[in-house]
Structure 1
Amino acid sequence: MRFLFVDRICALEKGKRVRAIKNISGDEGFLAEIFPGLPVLSPVIAAEAAAQALSWLIVEARDFAVKPLITVLDEYVCHKHVQPGDQIAMEGEVESFQRESALAHARILINETPAIEINHGVCYLFPLSALQDPADAQRQFQHLCEKPFLTAPAAAQRSPLVREGAAPNLRDSGIDRIIFYEERQRIVGIKNITTTADYFNDHFPRKPLLPGVVIMDALIGCARILINRALTAHGWEQMQAVLVRAHKVKFRRFVQPGDQLVVQVQMGEFTEQQSMVHAKALVHDKVAATLAAEFCHLDRDTYLKTFLS
């Protein structure tokens, strides 16, 4: 897991202000549970996202010669906690520059409502070349500023969390949040795509793209939630949905860090022994992937004999 908390820079006014976004995934390395079953991003770590957005503003303003390091912070205020499934916006503003320092402010917003504020931070401007290759920093900045293949929404949104009907453990499903559930019929979930995901180290270093198998895994994971809850509703709670076939699999668009994948699954045939679903993934209301899938329903012993013996 990389220590990067900016997925995309949406707007930048040189030396003055910046706006960026960060998607919060269930795979984040800094999740904590203040109450059992309610994971949130560590409120202090969340502030790092705002600080990193502010850092890019200052680095770019000084032509990649310095790196700001916060030495004094007048005030940190936390209004709301950040959950998996959230897309947060980070805004930073430089109040003044000195030769070796800068005075700045930053904040995190959810649905354009302040969640965390960093007020009156004094940043020491340390030589960037002592910390990293300035050319690498420039390339990273260019990637963050690249326009997405699809236009991102202007406001970072907190999707409604459907608690009734959500799976007990979404971290095993490839989904960060369930936003709609109709028993035995349909389910909609979201998966946040964040630059900290390990697979972006290799897929690909110069153009991070979400692997197609990860999209497919999210579709199948969401489908299993729908099917397993239907099995429980029928009194077959000892059964689990096991994928046996996927077909008509099509990947139509690239998915990048900063995107939010909306996963929609519709139930087709459903019996005690098997089920079929149709699923699609969308980014900004455009179809990114589609598939049809068939599942068998097995109890634990049958599963062990069939798939693990």
Structure 2
Amino acid sequence: MCFLFVDRIVATIPGKLIRGVKHVTKDDDYLCYDTVGQIAFAPSLIGETLGQLAAWNVMAFHDFSLRPVAGIVASACLLRGVHPGETLLLESVIDELDDAVVRYHSIAKVGNEPVFIVDGAIGPLLPMTNFIDVDVVRRQFNEINRPGDWDVVVANASTPCSEKTRFFKNSYGSSPSTSRGLTSGSSNSLDSLPDPKVRPQDVNFRVLQFDHIVEVEPGVHWTAEKLVSRTAAYFPDHFPNNPVLPMTVLLEC
């Protein structure tokens, strides 16, 4: 189970700008129900994904000697949920960067529709070796750093397609006409594919939530408790040498 969410870095200007994508699928470990009962990617983790995107730019700019950690955010606004089958188009702009701190703002879109906006994010920079081995983080960066034409990526992510075609592409990584001998109109054509609707029993739920309600004063406040285990799935990535509870986990609770 992974707590790294950027699937691909598409374009970057060191110390200035970075763009990437996150594909939301039914195999994601951090899914939940949204306010209307649909399965969605955990909302606070869209913000986490944008923060990780900005961090990749900052770490590469400093040759992986420093890394940013969570500081403060002026505002973080969720505009709508993001569901399996959708691709997040991510952009982080570095407003200020030196050896001590980074300030940035970010946006996540589905197609041309903004779904999450972060403004006024500030994070202190600390030595990389406090958190993770430099060779490990370099390898992680190289695995996802696959530059390409951003306009093409946006166009592909925004192209309308039927639910079954979208399901096929997400599941098998290619179009139905070129994969596994499927041909239109045959008994093994697209029409014979499984129903693409994501069902709760098909999903790996890893809902981030509190463990106990301690006190409730109706209409005033709730007090709850979140128990933190050393074996929690996010600690191997956050961080190997210094496990820290992600701030976004608290926000999701």
- In the other structure, the counterpart of 1:215 is 172
CA change 1:37–1:277 in 2 (3 A) is farther
Pairs within 5 Å for 1:12-161:
12-35=12-35, 38-147=38-147, 153-155=153-155, 157=157
- Structure 1: stretches of 5+ with no match in the other structure: 161-177, 181-186, 194-213, 223-247, 251-263, 269-275, 281-291, 294-309
Distance in 2, Cα, partners of 1:156 & 1:130: 39
Structure 1 pair 155/18, CA: closer, same or farther in 2 (3 Å)?
A: farther
TM-score, length of structure 2 as denominator length: 0.64
1:135-214 counterparts in 2 under 5 A? 135-147=135-147, 153-155=153-155, 157=157, 179-180=162-163, 187-190=164-167
Query: What is the CA distance between 1:98 and its match in structure 2?
Result: 3.8
Superposed CA offset, 1:28-56 (max 9, x none): 12211135651111111111111111010
* 1:7 corresponds to: 7
Point out the structure with max Rg over C-alpha: 1
Q: Distance in 1 between matches of 2:166 and 2:32?
A: 22
Instruction: Write out per-residue CA displacement over residues 251-300 of structure 1, whole angstroms, 9 at most, x where no aligned residue.
Output: xxxxxxxxxxxxx77453xxxxxxx31359xxxxxxxxxxx99xxxxxxx
Quickly say closer, same or farther: Cα 1:265–1:55, change in 2 above 3 A.
Answer: farther
What is the letter of the counterpart of residue 190 of structure 1? Answer: F
For residue 141 of structure 1, report the CA deviation from its aligned partner: 1.4
Hey, what's the Cα distance between the residues in 2 that align with 1:48 and 1:191? 28
Q: How far apart are residue 147 of structure 1 and its match?
A: 4.7
Q: Secondary structure at the match of 1:154?
A: helix
Contact 2:70/2:122, CA 8 A, preserved across alignment: yes
- 1:266–1:155 CA distance, 2 compared to 1 (3 A): closer
The residue matched to 1:2 in structure 2 has which SS?
Answer: coil
Contact 1:85–1:191 (Cα < 8 Å) also in 2? no
Contact 1:103 1:120 in 2 (8 A): yes
| Equivalent position amino acid for 1:215 in 2 | Y
1:111 touches 1:156 (CA, 8 Å); kept in 2?
no
Q: Map residues 250-261 of structure 1 onto 2, 5 A cutoff.
A: none
How far the C-alpha of 1:93 sits from its partner, in A, is: 1.2
Task: Specify which structure has the bigger relative contact order, considering alpha-carbon pairs within 8 angstroms and separated by 6 or more residues.
Answer: 2
Report the CA distance shift for 1:122/1:191 in structure 2 as closer, same or farther (over 3 A): farther
SS of equivalent residue, structure 1 residue 190? helix
> Distance in 1 between the 2:159 and 2:38 partners?
16
Determine the C-alpha separation between the residues in 1 that align with 2:144 and 2:43: 24
Shift of 1:18: 0.3
How far is 1:138 from its partner? 1.4
Report the Cα distance in structure 1 between the residues aligned to 2:108 and 2:74, rounded to whole angstroms.
Answer: 17
Q: Is the 8 A contact 1:50 1:92 kept in 2?
A: yes
Percent of residue pairs bearing the same amino acid type: 20
Q: Give the residue type in structure 2 aligned to 1:42.
A: A
User: What is the distance in 2 between the residues matched to 1:13 and 1:191?
Assistant: 34
Aligned CA distance change for structure 1 residues 36 and 77 (closer, same or farther; 3 Å): closer
User: Would the alpha carbon gap of residues 39 and 128 (structure 1) be closer, same or farther in structure 2, given more than 3 Å must change?
Assistant: same
Q: Check conservation: 2:89, 2:154, Cα contact below 8 A.
A: no
SS, match of residue 2 in structure 2: coil
Question: Structure 2 regions of 5+ residues with no counterpart?
Answer: 194-253
- Equivalence for 2:247: none
Amino acid in structure 1 at the alignment position of 2:17:
R
Which structure: greater strand fraction? Answer: 1
- Indicate conservation of the 8 Å contact 2:111/2:154, yes or no: no
Distance in 2 (CA, whole Å) between partners of 1:156 and 1:189 is 11
